[in-house]
Structure 1
Amino acid sequence: MNAIMDSLWKATTALALFPIVPFVIVLFGYGAYVRDRKKALRMAMDVSTIFLILCVSGQYSLMFDSTFGFYGILLIMILAAGLLGNAQFRKRGSVDVKRIFRAIWRLSFFAMSFLYVIFMIVLLGKVIFSVA
């Protein structure tokens, strides 16, 4: 049982290091299964968001020597959900939690993708140009 958990942990770590891999796997795998490109793209975004969050929080920890990255991302997501829920309540008079969660999750995909690229460039620059 310990070997199975260890291999699952290693696989999750490998996928979190390169979040494009689960995106591509789900996009083509699920796309071949359902034969709907839009649905496959949405599913790939939803699945790879968790890996992007893990990777960006790890990059944040490396860049700033802080463990606040993961909690900061969750805090921003919760604050954004609260603001979106407030706007929805003011406009419609009710809150659709499922819709808000889906919107925040998909917006997080784009934000984490952007931060992943920026942090990766900065970290690669630190590694390449730190000759000491």
Structure 2
Amino acid sequence: MQMLLDGLKSLYAYLAVIPVIPFLLIYFGYQFITEDRKKAFRLAMDVTTVFLIGCVAMLLNKLFDGSFGIYTILLIMLLGGGLLGNVQFRKKGAVDVKKVFRAIWRLSFFMMSVLYVLLMVIAASKAIFFQA
């Protein structure tokens, strides 16, 4: 059982380092099966967000010598969900939690993608130019 968990951790780590790979695998695989580009893109976004969150959290921890990366990301997502839920409540009188969650999850994909590129450039620059 422990070997299986270690294998899953390793697989996640490898896929999280370059999240473009799982995105492309899921996108083209699902598109091949269903022939629906929209659904394939959405599914690829949803799955890749998990990998992006893990990678961005690790990069934040590495760059700032801390362990608060995942908590910062989750806090921002929760705050965004609360704000979006508040807007929805004021506009419609009720909150559709599923729609709020989906919106925050997909916005997180774009936010994590930008942060991934930015933090990778910073980490690479730091490793190249500031070696001690």
- With the length of structure 1 as denominator, give the TM-score of the two structures: 0.96
1:70 partner amino acid? I
Spell out structure 1 runs of 4+ moving beyond 3 A. none
Shift of 1:7: 1.4
Number of aligned residues: 132
- Separation of aligned partners in 1, 2:111 and 2:17: 17
2:66 partner amino acid? S
Shift of 1:21: 1.1
Shift of 1:32: 0.6
1:9 partner amino acid? K
- Separation of aligned partners in 1, 2:3 and 2:66: 31
1:35-85 residue CA offsets vs partner (Å, 9 max, x unmatched): 011110000000000100000000000100111110010000001000100
- Separation of aligned partners in 2, 1:85 and 1:131: 45
Q: Which ranges of structure 1 fall in alignment gaps of 5 or more residues? A: none
Shift of 1:9: 1.4
Q: Which ranges of structure 2 fall in alignment gaps of 5 or more residues? A: none
Shift of 1:131: 3.8
Identical counterparts, % of pairs: 55
- Provide the residue aligned with 2:92 in structure 1: 92
1:2-23 residue CA offsets vs partner (Å, 9 max, x unmatched): 3222211111111111111111
- Separation of aligned partners in 1, 2:108 and 2:75: 12
- Provide the residue aligned with 1:82 in structure 2: 82
**Mapping for residues 44-123 of structure 1, pairs under 5 Å:** 44-123=44-123
- Separation of aligned partners in 2, 1:5 and 1:43: 25
1:74-126 residue CA offsets vs partner (Å, 9 max, x unmatched): 00000100010011000000110000000000000000000000000000001
2:103 partner amino acid? A
